[in-house]
Amino acid sequence: MDDQQAPVVFVVLGPPGAGKGTQSGMLASLFRIPHISVGNLLRSCVQDKSEARLRLRRMMELGSLVPDTLVLDVLAARVSEPDCARGLILDGFPRTLRQAGLLERGLLKSPLYSTNAREKLVAVHLRVQPSTIVGRLSGRRICSRCGATYHLETQPPRVSGECDLDGSALTIREDDRKATVLERLRIYQQETAPILSHYAGKTSLLEVDGEQPKENIAREIVTAIQSMLRISVAGARNAQSMVENNP
């Protein structure tokens, strides 16, 4: 992103397993702005063994949303870090209309943004069928150390069961068990899906077919963002050519 532009906040929306983390990671390296995964922030935060944290961890393992106070604490701390000054990609926030309202009312009014124009919000919705989701989440494996994501069929590690980046063991996320995935889908429909019509009337909402190969999705998003924001930024041109050169 261009240093002179108001920061752009990308909100990546979609059901569990839609590819939010995958696309956010690709876009973050293409646009050179941070990918903030609220799920990852929360998973690190509930590692400590206090009774309160264990309760929250259990909520996540069962697929429930955790209380806003915790979400807002971890998010506010992360957004105030210097690398967020030029924009950021939010993966997993907002998840309710209330959280969407908090975001619009200035949740990100970080001191980092105070000398810039108000940040611009662009929402990207990855549309994926429930049957695809179950397949993606049952095949997902996560590095136990760095959190890198794999899929047994579509993105296997070079050595079975080991992370390409650090060689650590790959694990199954507790909330990827089938019954929990169905519960997460139910919560998504009830709590998160209404945000889409809310955004459709208010902000730039980009609808993307999330069933495509991940490189095609990234290419479609970059092209749409360029025309949506009339990005004069070198970052977007670089992003486009990087996607073109890495099919």
Residues annotated as part of the active site: 20, 95, 140, 173, 184
Contact 162, 168 (CB under 8 A): yes
Is-cis flag, bond preceding 156, omega within 30? no
Within 8 A by CB and 6+ apart from 2, the residues are: 231, 232, 233, 234, 235
Select 63 or 87, whichever has its Cβ closest to ligand AP5: 63
Within 8 A by CB and 6+ apart from 177, the residues are: none
Footprint of ligand AP5 (CB under 6 A)? 14, 16-22, 38-39, 42, 60, 63-66, 71, 92-93, 95, 99, 136, 139-140, 149, 151, 154-155, 175, 184, 213-214, 217
- The least CB distance from residue 63 to ligand AP5, in Å, is 5
Select 7 or 21, whichever has its Cβ closest to ligand AP5: 21
- The least CB distance from residue 153 to ligand AP5, in Å, is 8
Select 124 or 231, whichever has its Cβ closest to ligand AP5: 124
Identity of residue 146: C
- The least CB distance from residue 222 to ligand AP5, in Å, is 15
Using CA atoms, how far residue 144 sits from 95, 154, 214, in Å, is 26, 19, 23
Six-digit token string for 175 = 């909330």
Within 8 A by CB and 6+ apart from 165, the residues are: 143, 146, 148
Select 84 or 231, whichever has its Cβ closest to ligand AP5: 84
CB-based closest residue to ligand AP5:
39
